[in-house]
Structure 1
Amino acid sequence: MFARKSGQARGIRARLRGASVVLAAIGVVIGFAEGPAAAADNWTAVADPDSSRWFDAFLANGGDTVFARSGSYPGGDAGSGEVARYWQRNGTTWTLLPAISSQTVETNDDDVWTATSANDFWVVGQTAAAATVGNHWNGTAWEQRSPTDTTVRFLDIKAVSANDVWAVGTTRSSSASSLPGTIGHWTGSGWQVTKVTPTTGSQTELTSVYVKSASDIWAAGETCTAVGGSNCRGYVTHYDGTSWKEVAVPTGTVGIEEITAGPSGEVWAAAGTKVLRWTGSAWTGGADVSVSGAYAIRELTWAGGKLYAGLGLGSANSHSGILRWTGTAWEQVTRVPETTGYYVTNVYELSGAPDGTLWAAGSYAQLFATPTFAATLAPGS
């Protein structure tokens, strides 16, 4: 029940990704300045599967199963296009899954992923014609499980079981006067799609979904009063087992990138560097991120009963880009060991395994290149 989302969504994430490119470019000029070390954390680097590829995201799952995504340049350089392949780890062995033939899933596509077991792994992306394609790995082969509504664009997905999968996103159209948010439910035989439109003529994009139970599901993103992205605000909707209803967020909340829930059931949402917590009747604050150069919380995940946040950073500093909630404040996790001598620009992925291990992947800023890091943080750190 873990999901991976790319940074290429049309609204919120496209703007964040654009900011990261500009800020990373600034960082290349400024360079990296080492600062005080954080408290020791036991990181272990994850080796690349082969010399022509690199891991850029992880999806931890039950038992010893972990899925990973790796990138490569088939033509030998960035101009040839970066293509993603998917790996499965059982115990200590990585196995490369067959290529997905129904679409070209690139690391820069709007694909999302989720899994419940080694035989239940989903990757959802788009074809060159921008049609949404759902791909399911059954342990032996890929099966295509795409929505029949060709206007649907999924931006996040969460599987509860092989026949109970939830996905959220938006509607794509070149002429529509209103672009509603979309909520899809895979029931085992097909996708049931619900469309939400907070106001007439609006454009809504749902970028995160969290399933607490069959009658307690949360989805979040942003809604704009007009197609084209003007006058936008954060948006949250909740399913009580019967219908979806908007849950108003505090005035001034920007688009929400992540929504999740902890062991106690408390719901957390990240909007820029602002963090909201739903206590059951209202949103509370007090957990905003205040890190020099941080422009967004890109990831929120739980590992070992602790909440971790992965940041997008845009100033030359020695911050690791990863925070851990102590119960009263955020503390910096030790910087992932690396040798580039440049600062972290983006934490692509944080994924917590059932045993408490945190899997992390991200990138550094470097002239003419974007070195990546891939590592695990031992339980109990």
Structure 2
Amino acid sequence: MRIEQRPTNRLRAALYGAAALLLALLAGLTAAAQGHAAAQWQAVPPPAPAGLSAYVPFDATSAVARSTVQTSTTCLPCEYEHTLWTRQAGAWRSLPLPPAGASTDVLTGTAPNDVWAFGRGERGDFGQYHWDGSRWTDRTLPDFEVLAARAVSRTDVWAVGNYRESGGDVPGAVAHWNGSAWTLTKLGAPDAWTNIKAVHVVSAHDVWVVGSGGGRLYAAHYDGASWQEVALPRLSGLSATANAVTVRDGEVWIGGTDRNIYTDSGTPRAFVLRGNGTDWQTTYVPVPAPTGDASEDRMSVQALAVHDGTVWAGLYADRTKDRGLARWNGSAWETAAAPGATPGSEVTALYPTADGTLWANGLHYPHAYLKGYAASLAPSA
């Protein structure tokens, strides 16, 4: 009998061990899923009732931000009043505006004493200014309109947009600050108005910029020595613009808006390209509960970022149909509500920080009041 029981006992022990291992694995997966699900967006308390029309984080408790209030009752043109802030150790401090009536359309920086502001002045001229903690210094490149910027360090700042040539041409432009001076490079066809609207810096030898020119998507890559234009596919519409770019594990993701401008039913659609710089795949973010009305169903990708290994897209859509965010699940886009407190909130910017946190900035509905918000999403445990 003992000889017959030994295999049975061994088999039973093996089965018990396998079952225990399976239960442990399931428990671990459940805990991980619960930990991921438990991660919730945390709102940043704004410094003023106007909210945060821009928020650029440096780390968990410091940032540069802007509040915006519309001061005109009509928009012929619209008039706004801007207030700048720095967040230091979680507390807000007001920041003087740059001189000469300069606007602060684009903000970036690395610390409360290393802030850059870009915009158009009261007389229509463009300006770039740097704040060192005590005063603003004019670092303007004339005729350079900055549409996006990214400060990697105090000696490594990238700004992109367009350059107004004296002859009327408007090529795309990229400027790099090395700590003492700007170096400006013009990009795009000389006879096409090119707007570069986003920049992503992987390293000093790997920088991507995207936008549009001549009604088509535009992209260029910097390898540390020179810029090379990257061919992108023509999408289903006849007018497309790229608003965002990010890189995950060497794969480039480009997002924006695609629309056929020659048809009345040409609904602007939110697209994302992903590829290796040569071969590209195109996906579209689905519109929640579409109506078939182009003015109601319009949607675009405004920001892209990587969080917990997943690509996230910040969205603009029309009114309460806006879901605000989308996540790539490996085969398709899944939309989610924006961190904003009201239906219709949009996400205009996404910023991952070194600690693994994802920050979102956007506007509440109605957009006319510019009541912006900022929120953070911690990395999963």
Q: State whether TM-score is above 0.5.
A: yes
Q: Flag the 1:86–1:265 CA change in 2: closer, same or farther, 3 A.
A: farther
Residue aligning to 1:151: 143
Displacement of 1:206: 1.1
Q: Which amino acid aligns with 1:223?
A: G
Give TM-score scaled by structure 1 length: 0.74
Residue aligning to 1:205: 195
Residue aligning to 2:377: 377
Whether the 8 Å CA contact 2:338–2:347 is kept in 1: the answer is: no
Moved more, 240-249 or 319-328: 319-328
Residue aligning to 2:181: 190
Displacement of 1:197: 3.4
Q: Which amino acid aligns with 1:85?
A: T
Asked if residue 313 in structure 1 is aligned to residue 317 in structure 2, the reply is yes
Q: Percent identity?
A: 34
**Where does structure 2 lack aligned partners over 5 or more consecutive residues?**
1-36, 258-269, 289-296
Residue aligning to 2:53: 56
Displacement of 1:63: 5.4
Q: Flag the 1:288–1:188 CA change in 2: closer, same or farther, 3 A.
A: same
Residue aligning to 1:133: 127
Match of 2:114 among 120, 133, 141: 120
Residue aligning to 1:12: none
Q: Using the alignment, how far apart are the partners of 1:368 and 1:57 within structure 2?
A: 15
User: Any idea what SS the aligned residue of 2:169 has?
Assistant: coil
User: Any idea what SS the aligned residue of 1:154 has?
Assistant: strand
Displacement of 1:127: 1.1
Displacement of 1:304: 3.9
Q: Using the alignment, how far apart are the partners of 1:268 and 1:177 within structure 2?
A: 32
Q: How does 1:28-107 map to 2 (within 5 A)?
A: 42-51=40-49, 53-62=50-59, 64-72=61-69, 81-105=79-103
Q: Which amino acid aligns with 2:147?
A: L
User: Any idea what SS the aligned residue of 2:130 has?
Assistant: strand
Whether the 8 Å CA contact 2:340–2:364 is kept in 1: the answer is: no
Match of 1:266 among 233, 248, 251: 251
Whether the 8 Å CA contact 1:155–1:168 is kept in 2: the answer is: yes
Q: Using the alignment, how far apart are the partners of 1:163 and 1:100 within structure 2?
A: 21
Displacement of 1:178: 2.8
Asked if residue 301 in structure 1 is aligned to residue 300 in structure 2, the reply is no
Displacement of 1:370: 5.7
Displacement of 1:377: 3.0
Number of residues paired by the alignment?
320
Match of 2:162 among 170, 178, 194: 170
Give TM-score scaled by structure 2 length: 0.74
Whether the 8 Å CA contact 2:307–2:352 is kept in 1: the answer is: yes
Asked if residue 278 in structure 1 is aligned to residue 270 in structure 2, the reply is no
Q: Which amino acid aligns with 1:300?
A: L
Whether the 8 Å CA contact 2:211–2:241 is kept in 1: the answer is: yes
Asked if residue 355 in structure 1 is aligned to residue 359 in structure 2, the reply is no
Whether the 8 Å CA contact 1:158–1:209 is kept in 2: the answer is: yes
Match of 1:179 among 161, 170, 189: 170
Whether the 8 Å CA contact 1:207–1:257 is kept in 2: the answer is: yes
Displacement of 1:40: 7.4
